Amino acid sequence: RAMSSVSIPPPACLLKPLEAPFRYLFGPGPSNVPPRILAAGGRPIIGHMHPEMFEIMNDIKKGIQYAFQTENNMTIAMSGSGHTAMECAIFNTVEPGESVLVAINGIWGERVAEIAKRMGANVHTMVKAPGGYFTNQEIEQALAKHKPVLFFLTHGESSAGIAHPVDGIGDLCRQHNCLFLVDSVASLGGAPLYMDKQNIDILYTGSQKALNAPPGTAPISFNERACKKMSSRKTKPVSYLLDMTHLSNYWGCDGKPARIYHHTGPVSGFFALRESLAILAEKGLENSWRHHKEVAEYLYKGLEDLGLKLFVPDKSLRLPSVTTIAIPSGYDWREILAYLIKYHQMELTGGLGPSMGLVLRVGLMGYNCSKTNVDLVLLALADALKHCHKSKA
């Protein structure tokens, strides 16, 4: 045998073909990606700085403006998952030592508080148990007390299954000279949200939920107020990769004649994101919102007929895209989830962060949102309840 210069052999696992089973992705994301979007992502790639790519990025920008209902020029897609947009929003609009107020009623507020603490912000939190929400009066009192430069709220709290009311909060933030940052990763396309009309200063989402694109890109938009705050910074954002001065140039938002290389964007991910935004544009936002609501109501009825209890009692607060079910008493939620994967090739999930051990979660988003899929979920759940172990207690 000839002597080899490498001492680490090729891994045996990689000499076998890739195996990725079919799954019904009926948890809180990622969702199944329809063939049209998969095909867009599978096209031969082009250079990230080619003029055709810039056209595609311009189309994406228009698609995000439509999906967010905003005219903001500073509208881009992050190269990265929803967390990239969370960090981009905080890193660029907050400077170390500044006060930030975070509403926590599930895991997403916890995460944003952690991100803001890490970059040296002075973080104040308002906390409710998962399923709870904040009144405008409570928010106004906290704004007056902590005088934050930024207030964070999750619109679609996917760990709790809440669609948080947004009306009036943007106005309160203006009165208190504070930016209003909203997370719509789990709600965009699934529940009404109007960035400009609702005076949201910074809004972000993810690609892998109701947009049905693969995970890995994240739309974000900043309005004039947010841009003013960013341009009056005294310090540079802690992250080079997420610095909006560079990203706004890469996305052609800074009015400069040329785009200069900053990083290599996920070309295939942008192809897929463009296609997903095209599908939303063809369907229409209002149709998409209505459709999610109708299918969610059909799901609620079916779950109740199975004897299951919805975790959020107030129907008007439920997030249409992600439904939380109280764990049926006597059952081990992990066993139910494992049963669904094993016998139904179906992913539902448990809770996350503070809702862990409290809920099962069903996400039917975008392409996955249909009564046929509700029927599949209900059949699978009925089967799991019949076959999983139930304690007598």
**Whose Cβ is closer to ligand PMP: residue 187's or residue 248's?**
187
> In angstroms, what is the minimal distance from the CB of 157 to ligand PMP?
6
At 392, list the tokens: 């007598």
Encode 76-88: b = buried (16+ Cβ within 10 Å), e = exposed.
bbbbbbbbbbbbb
> In angstroms, what is the minimal distance from the CB of 164 to ligand PMP?
10
Q: What are phi and psi of 179, to 5 degrees?
A: -85, 145
Check binding of 81 to ligand PMP (CB under 6 A).
Answer: yes
Tell which one of 186, 195, 227, 230 touches ligand PMP (CB under 6 A).
186
Cα dihedral sign for 318, 320, 321, 322?
positive
Check binding of 131 to ligand PMP (CB under 6 A).
Answer: no
> In angstroms, what is the minimal distance from the CB of 130 to ligand PMP?
12
Neighbours of 302 (CB within 10 A): 18
**Whose Cβ is closer to ligand PMP: residue 146's or residue 209's?**
209
- Whole-number Å distance between alpha carbons of 204 and 79: 13
Tell me how many residues contact ligand PMP (CB under 6 A).
14
Task: Scan residues 346-375 and list those touching ligand PMP (CB under 6 A).
Answer: none
* Segment interacting with ligand PMP, rule: CB under 6 A, options 52-60, 77-85, 164-172, 290-298: 77-85
* Segment interacting with ligand PMP, rule: CB under 6 A, options 90-98, 114-122, 152-160, 378-386: 152-160
Q: Which of 267, 265, 272 shows the shortest CA–CA distance to 212? A: 272
Check binding of 148 to ligand PMP (CB under 6 A).
Answer: no
- Please count the CA atoms within 13 angstroms of the CA of 230 that sit on its side-chain side: 26
DSSP β-bridge partners for residue 217: 79
Q: What are phi and psi of 102, to 5 degrees?
A: -125, 125
Check binding of 323 to ligand PMP (CB under 6 A).
Answer: no
Check binding of 158 to ligand PMP (CB under 6 A).
Answer: yes
Contact positions toward ligand PMP, by CB under 6 A?
A: 28-29, 81-83, 108, 154, 156, 158, 183, 185-186, 206, 215
